[in-house]
Structure 1
Amino acid sequence: MSPRQLNPESSIRDRIQVVGAHFERGGRPWIPVTGEIHYARIPRSRWKQTLAQAASGGLNTVACYVFWRYHEPTPGRFCWEDNLDLRGFVEFAAEAGLDVVVRLGPWAHGEARFGGFPDWLMEADCTPRTNDPVYLRFVERFYAETIGQLAGLCHADGGPIIAAQVENELHQQPEHLARLREMAEELGLHLPLWTATGWGGAKLPGTVLPVWSGYADGFWAEADEEFPDFARPHFSYSHQRDDHGVGADVRLAAQAGSGPQGGDGNEDTVDTSAGALPFATCELGGGMHVAYHRRPLVTAEDVAALALAKIGSGSVWQGYYMYVGGSHRRGHPDGEQESQVTGYPNDMPQISYDFHAPIGEHGQIRPHYHLLRRQHLWLRSEGQRIACMTPKIAGIDFTDPCTDPQGAQDLSGPAGPQDPLRWAVRDDGAQGYLFLSPYQPAVESLAAQASVQLQAPCGAATLTVPHRPVDIPAGISTVWPLNFSLSAGLTLISATAEVITRAADAEADLLILCVRDGIPAELVLNRRVPVSGPAQFLHEAGAAVVVPTVPPGKDCLIQLGEARILLLDEATADQLYRLRRGDRDELLLSAQPVWVEDDVLVTEPVVRRDALITNAVLAEDGERAPAPRSGGPQHRLSAPADWSGAYVLDVPVPPDAFDEGLRSMLRLTFVADAARAVIPGTQGSGDQESAREVLVSDHFWHGRDWEFELTPWRREIQARGLQIHLLPRRRADGVWIHPEHRHAPDGARVHLVELTQLRRGAPPPGTVHVLGHTS
């Protein structure tokens, strides 16, 4: 593949292009940081806030599926209104300072019914996902309407759309993928980058860039898989980019004729080996959804460790799926979610598509939002150099990036104290970063590493890092700078702390580092300079090693000659924001999530918590649970269809729950099998709408609290009340639950039903500490 095939010629000043193994923008190396946000699954009223929060989280790009079934529910009649307004979403993204990747489909998956295909298409006399002329005529109509919505918003027009993905997880149809790009361009969509998903051994044409995935766990694994084989390698440093586990069950279903399928192609395909093209990702798990049969418990630390491992392995495009959770739309009687009814292997919740994303289904800001933001600030600050750095992975020939077909370590056996430290270096011949990790998820955790001291290659030198051996605690994945320039003639040879960002104000440059819990901080300089602040040189001959004399935190500001370094602890680093206001960046510390809308600093703190129900034991056994069923092409457990035996809990929602200016959420801590929040129908009512029961939210219990918003349903709740329906848990049915929670007793128990209210507004004085400004 040549860059010309990927990048249409453009003379615009901000040109985006593939240059060797990285991207350039405006002639400079550039790392996109992208998060998946499904506009059609989020209320339009929350778009602006959500996109501003994404920008505050350090994204520079958002991606969105265009689900065909939502936009053309009947042949030839298109819907682009309300939260289906694709153009409006892209414009809101531009206002937030974000670029956009449009995932055009036609097939999307995204746990949508028929992968986003309209029901009428599945009944049409054509072969989807091929170059069948009848199918292509349908696609052309859909593409034409979609591209019409995007007129004037493409990068060459000065708009935010920089890339498009054609199809999704199509493995044996390179000529079809090539035709989809050609068709989109013929219809007027001209973009710098065209992508297609490469995992599963996909054969791709030379006109699309392969993009990759990596998940810490997957609901699509079997119920007897404790830690899926496809997940384990993602916590190592590796030149391997592919993942044959993602979507494998759907591929099997397609091969069996139970779902959308394609045929064989014979077109020349792209070289996807390491180093041939940029290592770009589009689906690093920002969390994980749950299916009925298997309910993973991916943690914030899992998400952050996996993302960092990909950077250590050479990623130059960090793309997360999902970054913001959402809700399936309402429409089909069977639901708009993936299900065994439509030939899929898995049954999903009918409404909730929370995905335990960094920003939840109802706008909840979760811990991995902060952990990822630390990485994103680093990529924003240092990405121009990181983009050009090549990976050198321990256990692999550093000089040959193609000697790693299976990963950096032997990962076939269980974890244990014998596991070696996983480490890698990315460098550009002068400076670099050392990545270290004894991290794997708790189901197969790795041991702590004692007395770590490495000989790290950086350019032509080999550096001893750290100066004094340190212990690396279990559950840590970290990255340390090597040969980092601080000021003229002063270099940070190494540091046992992570770079977050660097900035400049009227005083001097400021470098902010995060010291991970349990790892003592040391700064190794190339020479001795005057030191002021809470730090001192070690008394060792020939060594220029500085250590802090106070714990890391906002007061641990050290002056080293002309350079300033702020050492933050992890808790404080999680409160660090770099926000654009006007023509300046602001570095802020805030205990509350903050973001910028219309150049104004905004937050939405909790202002009230009320316990509505505590410790209600509804059932001590699973006697009333419906008999387990299995279905779909993989014969996995099926979601209950019979709710007649459900226990019903009336929720006493207080009259002032919907006071003006407040957003009300309900949070349940409970144990059951499955639960639904329902607005009951009105018996004997002549009004068909009020007579119908309304499903507000649903949840397959997996150990986490269940949260959902009440405010959109305030009129119905005030008139008809709110109920929680619960089916009791029965461990013998064989649903996979994380070991942390699987020993919960049978039955149905509600420990807490809590009303949480939030009020949006400007941060109160004193809650935001301004560190400085940078132009």
Structure 2
Amino acid sequence: MNDPNPAPRELRATAPPGPRRGHLPLGEPEGAPDRIDVNARWIERAGRPWFPTTGEIHYSRIPRNRWNDVLGHARAGGLDSIATYVFWRAHEPEPGRFDWSGDLDLRAFVRLAAEHGLDVVVRLGPWAHGEARHGGFPDWLVARDLKARTDDPDYLALVRPLYAAAVAQLRGLTHAEGGPVIAAQVDNELYDQPGHLATLRALAEELGLRVPIWTATGWGGAQVPDTLLPVYGAYAEGFWEDADVEWPAFAPIHFRYSEVRDDLSVGADLREALDGVAAANPEDATAAPATPFATCELGGGMHVAYHRRPLVTGEDVAALALAKIGSGSAWQGYYMYAGGTQRSGSQGPEQESHESGYPNDVPALTYDFNAPIGEHGQIRPHHHFLRRQHLWLREDGHRIAAMGVQIGGGGEDPEELRWSVRSDGRSGYLFLTTYQPPKRPLASQPGVQFTVHFDDGPVTVPSEPVDVPAGHSLVWPLRYPLTPDLTLRSATAQLLTRLDDLVVFAATDGIPAELVLGDGTPVHLPSPPGPNCIADLPGVRLLVLDEASANRLYQLDLAGRERLVLADAPVHADRGDLVVHPETARVTVAVLPAPPAFVAEGADLEPPRDESPWRTWTLTAHDTGPVPLSAELKPGGPAPEPRRGGPMDRLSAPDDYSSAAEIRIDVPDFGGADRALLRLAWTGDTGRAYAGDRLIGDHFWHGRVWDVDLTPHRDAVAEHGVRLELLPWRRETGVWVDPAVRDVADGTTLDAATLVRVGRVRLHAEEDPS
């Protein structure tokens, strides 16, 4: 049980040793412009530590006309880089015939990312996976008698033209050439062929690709050669687990502070099903590597399979990500950061399935992943939660990357407080968490107080013990330099960012915001945390936001300079303008420092209001907002009998919809809306959506609404409406869904159908005369 009056937790935070250098065949030569280098503990850029934040976005799964907005939102979310798969089957559907056009134009996508200030990690394959059929291998390749993913000369002879074509797409776009491509990954989840991984790098370099960082996925105890940087993953859940697993055995460690990098469960089903190899040895996860703690697949959400349908929340995603920073991560990489739609070829949808020999049946079209940016550009809560972390890393990541880690406390016991410190020996950050997913929650913590002993003396925070409610994941600064002459000794608020002389913090609901200067003087806050809570100090101002405002805060390049933006709707910057994507007609946007004026396209703009220190505009967007739709459910017959298949004999997705309940929905014209989504609140098993005879969406019910993008199908929807085929839920089938939604009744219901008209407003700001 918790002690109601515990003594302060204590920990000694010493300066970490200097990093080992020069032992990795990575990085760029001395004197290279904006030089990127890798040592044993962090990545360097332009002579100082760099903490990259990378999000996975698959260009080939997003309509080209949406690339700009998706990349804009990624940059607005605080990312400095994106990663993307090159799916072999998409680019070489027939031997020798390559296609880099339209949605497959890798070169155009990389150049557009650069326009948004984003670097690029190219995941070259040849085997990629991403739930693409045969891992992205073309069917014609699979049909050949080859030892794929090895140094078999016949296989390499086919890989060579693929790599040559991809390298040609990237010519002139690498970092050394002044472009955005900073890294390349070879293959994916290849755990027992280190020589082949080394060969793939050598082949790409022979064909002309020069990048400072070469990576390979390292989880599952993978054998990664010394020529590649192992990168890791961490998921809160896994659709690849069996239906009788309530929570994957290795998932809980990702909500604790631990210097263990490896997740032995990711990819384990494929190793077992395809290769007959048991899970890796847990001891392999604790080996002390000579490389930075880098990640490429922190779960930005979670896909669903027919037999297992996780319900990962935004809070899960944010808590896991922050726990990795508190555990020593020096590179945050998310999979997925933006969802997409599975490609379809001449033989139909190209997803993995039992038919392709995959252990899991996944939806034919949707690859939404409940990512921060959804399949159709929806902006999810964790886009905002993660942005708070990314703004902080952008501001102070150069210090954090070089800091060591000391674990203070907390293990498997849900009653224990989990905490750690990242420190350079004189300053740092205190991490603490009472968060774990609701299926296995942690306890609240009364009377929390810490003393961190640095090399030159202790810091105690807070000055008086505080109660930390359950469900929080926190990071507090210790001895943060405000100015050359003024230090913030401690704060019970999260550092967000700084702009000029303004340093921005986020308070936490339920925890008093205490800020103490280096001499022990408390900072007087003139009002409760919020947009107007500013404390003036010598040479610096401190803005302390409430949580709701912190989740609305952006830092964007507008009208020739960086500005802070508080917005009620998703926003991003595009060529100096502010682009707003509201789902409701009326939206407010506040800017600091404010431009003289905005000119609006796509909305009516009211005169601005000065609300010190912000200037606020209210806009009414055109052709925007929800429209309730009427729909009549035509009852269907009984659910089809369950089937099993695949190498692990798991439940198979039904393909017989003859007894499905049918619904026809008439959709009014959506005018000039930027996007029109049909949003369905329903229960059942699986569903398909058609415009005429064309399948335009599918869904395995798992507790969230189902969004179908009608925008590309305007004419067909106007003529035919939308037809839904819904199969009924039947609990005895044995499909796993989250406990939060598990009590749904058997059958099919449609609780609401809504046309969500998403607007597009462009605010052009006049530049400051200065």
TM value normalised by structure 1: 0.88
For 1:705 and 1:378, the matched residues in 2 are separated by 32
Aligned equivalent of 2:505: 513
- Structure 1 range deviating more: 462-471 or 669-678: 462-471
For 2:171 and 2:243, the matched residues in 1 are separated by 46
The answer on whether the counterparts of 2:637 and 2:660 sit within 8 Å (CA) in structure 1 is: no
For 1:488 and 1:123, the matched residues in 2 are separated by 66
Give the total of aligned pairs: 704
Per-residue CA deviation, residues 665-697 of structure 1 (Å, 9 max, x unaligned), is 1000011101110123xxxxxxxxxxxx21100
Q: Work out whether 1:229 is the aligned partner of 2:249.
A: yes
Aligned equivalent of 1:597: 574
The answer on whether the counterparts of 1:578 and 1:587 sit within 8 Å (CA) in structure 2 is: yes
Aligned equivalent of 1:756: 756
> Aligned AA for 2:294?
A
Residue 5 of structure 1 aligns to a residue in which SS? coil
Residue 105 of structure 1 aligns to a residue in which SS? coil
Q: 1:199, CA displacement in angstroms? A: 0.2
Q: 1:227, CA displacement in angstroms? A: 1.4
- Structure 1 range deviating more: 224-233 or 183-192: 224-233
Residue 740 of structure 1 aligns to a residue in which SS? helix
Per-residue CA deviation, residues 219-254 of structure 1 (Å, 9 max, x unaligned), is 011111111112110000101000001111011122
Aligned equivalent of 2:71: 51
Q: Work out whether 1:452 is the aligned partner of 2:448.
A: yes
Residue 464 of structure 1 aligns to a residue in which SS? strand
Per-residue CA deviation, residues 333-369 of structure 1 (Å, 9 max, x unaligned), is 4621111111111000000000000000000011100
* Alignment counterpart, residue 199 of structure 2, candidates 170, 179, 184: 179
* Alignment counterpart, residue 557 of structure 1, candidates 527, 534, 538: 534
Aligned equivalent of 1:663: 675
The answer on whether the counterparts of 2:679 and 2:755 sit within 8 Å (CA) in structure 1 is: yes
Q: Work out whether 1:574 is the aligned partner of 2:588.
A: no
Aligned equivalent of 2:608: none
Q: Work out whether 1:640 is the aligned partner of 2:654.
A: yes
For 1:4 and 1:701, the matched residues in 2 are separated by 47
Residue 48 of structure 1 aligns to a residue in which SS? helix
Residue 703 of structure 1 aligns to a residue in which SS? coil
Residue 626 of structure 1 aligns to a residue in which SS? coil
Residue pairs, 1:310-321, within 5 angstroms = 310-321=324-335
For 2:306 and 2:455, the matched residues in 1 are separated by 50
Shift of the 457–758 alpha-carbon distance from structure 1 to 2, 3 Å rule, reads same
Aligned equivalent of 2:630: 613
Residue 546 of structure 1 aligns to a residue in which SS? coil
Q: 1:488, CA displacement in angstroms? A: 3.6
Q: Work out whether 1:338 is the aligned partner of 2:349.
A: no
Per-residue CA deviation, residues 591-632 of structure 1 (Å, 9 max, x unaligned), is 121111122111121212111126x5655xx96111011111
Shift of the 660–318 alpha-carbon distance from structure 1 to 2, 3 Å rule, reads same
The answer on whether the counterparts of 2:263 and 2:285 sit within 8 Å (CA) in structure 1 is: no
Q: 1:141, CA displacement in angstroms? A: 1.1
Q: Work out whether 1:381 is the aligned partner of 2:395.
A: yes
Shift of the 17–519 alpha-carbon distance from structure 1 to 2, 3 Å rule, reads same
Aligned equivalent of 2:6: none
Q: 1:17, CA displacement in angstroms? A: 0.6
> Aligned AA for 2:581?
E
- Structure 1 range deviating more: 550-559 or 481-490: 481-490
Per-residue CA deviation, residues 742-768 of structure 1 (Å, 9 max, x unaligned), is 101110000001001122122599xxx
Q: 1:272, CA displacement in angstroms? A: 8.4
* Alignment counterpart, residue 301 of structure 2, candidates 279, 287, 297: 287
**Which blocks of at least 5 consecutive residues in structure 1 are unaligned?**
262-269, 396-407, 528-542, 681-692
Aligned equivalent of 1:548: 525
Residue 739 of structure 2 aligns to a residue in which SS? coil
Aligned equivalent of 2:230: 210
Per-residue CA deviation, residues 627-680 of structure 1 (Å, 9 max, x unaligned), is 0111111111110011111111001112x22x2454211000011101110123
Q: Work out whether 1:5 is the aligned partner of 2:45.
A: no
Q: 1:274, CA displacement in angstroms? A: 4.0
Aligned equivalent of 1:469: 465
Residue pairs, 1:82-121, within 5 angstroms = 82-121=102-141
> Aligned AA for 2:406?
K
Residue 740 of structure 2 aligns to a residue in which SS? coil
The answer on whether the counterparts of 2:691 and 2:720 sit within 8 Å (CA) in structure 1 is: yes
For 2:422 and 2:227, the matched residues in 1 are separated by 29
> Aligned AA for 2:437?
P
Residue pairs, 1:360-399, within 5 angstroms = 360-395=374-409
Aligned equivalent of 1:266: none
Aligned equivalent of 2:190: 170
For 1:588 and 1:151, the matched residues in 2 are separated by 37
The answer on whether the counterparts of 1:628 and 1:637 sit within 8 Å (CA) in structure 2 is: yes
The answer on whether the counterparts of 1:458 and 1:482 sit within 8 Å (CA) in structure 2 is: no
Q: 1:14, CA displacement in angstroms? A: 0.5
Q: 1:185, CA displacement in angstroms? A: 0.1
Report % sequence identity: 54
The answer on whether the counterparts of 2:28 and 2:36 sit within 8 Å (CA) in structure 1 is: no
For 1:302 and 1:164, the matched residues in 2 are separated by 29
For 2:246 and 2:728, the matched residues in 1 are separated by 23
Residue pairs, 1:32-47, within 5 angstroms = 32-47=52-67
Residue 113 of structure 2 aligns to a residue in which SS? helix
The answer on whether the counterparts of 2:235 and 2:299 sit within 8 Å (CA) in structure 1 is: yes
* Alignment counterpart, residue 363 of structure 2, candidates 333, 344, 349: 349
Q: Over the residues paired in the alignment, what is the CA RMSD in angstroms?
A: 2.1
> Aligned AA for 2:680?
L
Residue 171 of structure 1 aligns to a residue in which SS? coil
Q: 1:544, CA displacement in angstroms? A: 2.2
Q: 1:547, CA displacement in angstroms? A: 5.1
Per-residue CA deviation, residues 297-325 of structure 1 (Å, 9 max, x unaligned), is 10011000000000001111000000000
Aligned equivalent of 1:219: 239
For 1:549 and 1:151, the matched residues in 2 are separated by 55
Per-residue CA deviation, residues 48-73 of structure 1 (Å, 9 max, x unaligned), is 11111111110000000000000000
Shift of the 617–722 alpha-carbon distance from structure 1 to 2, 3 Å rule, reads closer
Shift of the 490–736 alpha-carbon distance from structure 1 to 2, 3 Å rule, reads same
Residue pairs, 1:189-268, within 5 angstroms = 189-256=209-276
Q: 1:545, CA displacement in angstroms? A: 2.5
For 1:753 and 1:211, the matched residues in 2 are separated by 42
The answer on whether the counterparts of 2:690 and 2:723 sit within 8 Å (CA) in structure 1 is: yes
Q: 1:11, CA displacement in angstroms? A: 3.5
For 1:618 and 1:470, the matched residues in 2 are separated by 56
For 1:234 and 1:663, the matched residues in 2 are separated by 36
For 1:216 and 1:430, the matched residues in 2 are separated by 33
Aligned equivalent of 1:675: 687
Residue 394 of structure 1 aligns to a residue in which SS? strand
Per-residue CA deviation, residues 455-511 of structure 1 (Å, 9 max, x unaligned), is 22434433222111111111100100001112243221111000000121xxxx211
Residue 74 of structure 1 aligns to a residue in which SS? coil
- Structure 1 range deviating more: 102-111 or 248-257: 248-257
For 1:81 and 1:762, the matched residues in 2 are separated by 29
Residue pairs, 1:377-456, within 5 angstroms = 377-395=391-409, 409=411, 411=412, 415=414, 419-456=415-452
For 2:430 and 2:196, the matched residues in 1 are separated by 42
The answer on whether the counterparts of 1:576 and 1:588 sit within 8 Å (CA) in structure 2 is: yes
For 2:472 and 2:78, the matched residues in 1 are separated by 22
For 1:739 and 1:571, the matched residues in 2 are separated by 28
For 1:461 and 1:697, the matched residues in 2 are separated by 60
* Alignment counterpart, residue 69 of structure 1, candidates 41, 65, 89: 89
For 1:545 and 1:513, the matched residues in 2 are separated by 15
For 1:451 and 1:634, the matched residues in 2 are separated by 49
Q: 1:275, CA displacement in angstroms? A: 6.0
Q: 1:2, CA displacement in angstroms? A: 4.6
Per-residue CA deviation, residues 561-604 of structure 1 (Å, 9 max, x unaligned), is 33311110010011111112365211111112111112211112
For 1:271 and 1:593, the matched residues in 2 are separated by 39
